[in-house]
Copies of this chain bind each other. A is one copy, B any other.
Amino acid sequence: MQISEAESAVMEVLWRRSPMAAEDVVAALERSQDWQEATIKTLLNRLLKKKAVEASKDGRRYLYSPLLAREDWVQAQSKGLLDRLFGGRVAPLVAHFSERSKLTKKDIADLKRLIAE
């Protein structure tokens, strides 16, 4: 099952802190998104249906927690893009950014360290 763009914004909130009540998710998204409360409820329900989050009863309401790990999602997304655009290889992606001069000095320093292992 796929997680949509809008849904992933909700996931990011829950990945940062959980469990959370719907109301708190709404509050957390107020800054970044211009969504009505109803919209966020819908997204939470779709995520429930997709088994990406779970809800545990807490009195009259529910507390939501991720079931899908961010790491796994990031992995799937990254691998998907790499496979589709760069033949599944990391180096061509880095080459792409280096050609487009999108590598900051910090990137280069970090990469050097990484490569040194």
Contacts and interface: CB of A to CB of B under 8 A. Distances in A.
A78 B97 contact: yes
Interface in A8-38: 8
A84 interface: yes
Nearest to A91: B110
**How many copies of the chain does the oligomer comprise?**
2
A90 B115 contact: no
A104 to B, nearest CB: 7
A42 B97 CA distance: 33
Given A8-B84, A85-B77, A107-B89, A114 B96 contact: no
Interface of A: 8, 74-75, 77-79, 81, 84-85, 89-98, 100, 102-104, 106-108, 110-112, 114-115, 117
